[in-house]
Structure 1
């Protein structure tokens, strides 16, 4: 099942799955939009709202795995996870929100008892970075510090942009000695040698501050990407009325990058680990547009789960399938440490 199939990521994933011969069950709460996509692709569909726990469990009862694509995940992940645990359904999401990563990973014992996999971050956030972090950790097992950086041009979907509003309002974060520490957005900053060129990037509150800590155990983590220069809007966005105005503006934008834009853009990821002795290992990857990578990773993760490739429990991508999961993704090229 793809829940939130009418959203930007759900739509991409559904179309990709059909192109590969799969026939996912489409679902969501927007009856007209889900039905239209199902009719176009020749797929079955169901309509239910996660706020109705009885209906949610009824529709998941015969589902082996659900790809949860309906944000904001801080509101929707909990009800979906609860229902999946009750129905024995594997769960995957494409969240980027720290509280969701923490909440899903905290359900490990419940997932093991239910015999299901809870896989959080099965998209661009955090498949490439989590897997690269674990490749680096394997190359330097006593690493104490991890730095990751990415660039993903091509624009944002409405859902990603809306989530970004609330995340940016909370400012930046990094992990120091195992603890999440608040820092100004973009601080610290550094030059990173990406595969194509050196870029100036700043620290951001990316999901690996939770997931890479969980999967590698490394206590000091910083994640970087390109950060806009401080502006009046960036200072005002912490106020709820300003965020509400910005959210309304986002709703008037296109759903996400066009197919032409996605085809013309690629992503790059860089990572580095260091140990107490000063030894360093680095790795990089290049891949397709972040949304194409998300659809590919999510569909392949579902296939892996249905094939029994992960043990029951709560997982990041790397703990579920190992860091070599990256090698299964289309157009991803890894320069290993």
Structure 2
């Protein structure tokens, strides 16, 4: 099967492409920046294709002969739908590394079309949301009667440009939680709580992380909140930004903030990635019982590389699963994250 990394010249795409070559894989590199693609392909000894996503015919032509695409070009709010349409038209399996709730929802809505096309549609095969989705599925396995799920995480090392741009989009959209099975919009930093790590409490706030969508699909648990750790000053600042929501949603402000990201955000370097980790907490409750787990993983970008390529390799070496939409834990099993290098998990507590 020929497979492609689209957005290969971006921060995360480059990391995935380089590791793919180390593993003896030969992806086709693709994106919209011809000069950057050519240079990267020459460096790695790979083939490349240049095409943009704004013309359906160009996407379909760019995907010709490709059996699977790993889509890495964010923000996915703008890029996922046209790439997915091309995959449906070409009967190309679709993977991406999004963490955006609305993108998960759109991909899920194409389940019947994916079945008809005979392809797998599996967004979120990186740090967003492989570890947290697998953690949710493990907890649900231990407490099937759970009615509430709380997930929390603490990352390290900073953002890539694409992730930072996605965060900018979120400033104007507020937060999300799931209540009684329904998605609900809530203000930025709607709730706070603490998680314990190394004997110390970490303050955390609710965020619109992808698991608000995917964990419900994976487990059926109707009430879901996701938190990330943050200093109290950051939480207070985000709460003040609530008053600017309408302004932050305007195209002018979004363009201005994203240009600032392009100028100032480069992504963590190799040393930072090697020296930082991420921590996850998961808690389910129901029927008067509770289960709690904690997990440590490598830096989020390192985990995105290993998680996404592990899934690609499964497609290359095994029969593809039945066509349709999948969350990571549905596609690879609840314990998939435990197979990845540098991941350790505590038992139930």
Normalised TM-score (structure 2): 0.92
User: Residue in 2 aligned with 1:305?
Assistant: 315
8 Å CA contact 1:165–1:237 kept in 2: the answer is no
CA distance in 1, matches of 2:206, 2:67: 38
Alignment equivalent of 1:230, drawn from 210, 232, 236: 236
- Note the residue ranges of structure 1 that are not aligned, 5 or more in a row: none
Q: For the structure 1 residues 65 and 196, does the alpha-carbon distance in structure 2 shift closer, same or farther, using more than 3 Å as the test?
A: farther
Does 2:277 align with 1:271?
A: no
Task: Give, in angstroms, the shift of residue 195 of structure 1.
Answer: 5.8
CA distance in 2, matches of 1:128, 1:234: 30
CA distance in 1, matches of 2:334, 2:53: 32
Task: Give, in angstroms, the shift of residue 197 of structure 1.
Answer: 4.0
Alignment equivalent of 1:51, drawn from 41, 54, 63: 54
Task: Give, in angstroms, the shift of residue 59 of structure 1.
Answer: 2.6
Task: Give, in angstroms, the shift of residue 186 of structure 1.
Answer: 1.9
CA distance in 2, matches of 1:181, 1:124: 24
User: Residue in 2 aligned with 1:258?
Assistant: 269
8 Å CA contact 2:140–2:219 kept in 1: the answer is yes
8 Å CA contact 1:194–1:269 kept in 2: the answer is no
Task: Give, in angstroms, the shift of residue 52 of structure 1.
Answer: 2.3
CA distance in 2, matches of 1:266, 1:89: 34
Q: For the structure 1 residues 88 and 196, does the alpha-carbon distance in structure 2 shift closer, same or farther, using more than 3 Å as the test?
A: farther
Greater Cα shift, 277-286 or 56-65: 56-65
Q: For the structure 1 residues 245 and 61, does the alpha-carbon distance in structure 2 shift closer, same or farther, using more than 3 Å as the test?
A: closer
- Note the residue ranges of structure 2 that are not aligned, 5 or more in a row: none
Cα offsets for 1:100-124 (capped at 9, x unmatched): 1000011111111211100011111
Does 2:220 align with 1:217?
A: yes
Cα offsets for 1:190-233 (capped at 9, x unmatched): 11124674311111110000000111111100000024233366
Alignment equivalent of 1:12, drawn from 11, 15, 19: 15
Cα offsets for 1:25-58 (capped at 9, x unmatched): 1001110011111111111101111122222212
User: Residue in 1 aligned with 2:126?
Assistant: 123
CA distance in 1, matches of 2:333, 2:30: 29
Secondary structure in 2 matching 1:230: helix
Normalised TM-score (structure 1): 0.95
Task: Give, in angstroms, the shift of residue 61 of structure 1.
Answer: 2.4
Does 2:309 align with 1:282?
A: no
Q: For the structure 1 residues 57 and 243, does the alpha-carbon distance in structure 2 shift closer, same or farther, using more than 3 Å as the test?
A: closer
Task: Give, in angstroms, the shift of residue 154 of structure 1.
Answer: 0.7
8 Å CA contact 1:194–1:284 kept in 2: the answer is no
8 Å CA contact 1:195–1:285 kept in 2: the answer is no
Does 2:109 align with 1:103?
A: no
RMSD: 1.6
CA distance in 2, matches of 1:309, 1:333: 28
8 Å CA contact 1:96–1:125 kept in 2: the answer is yes
User: Residue in 2 aligned with 1:202?
Assistant: 205
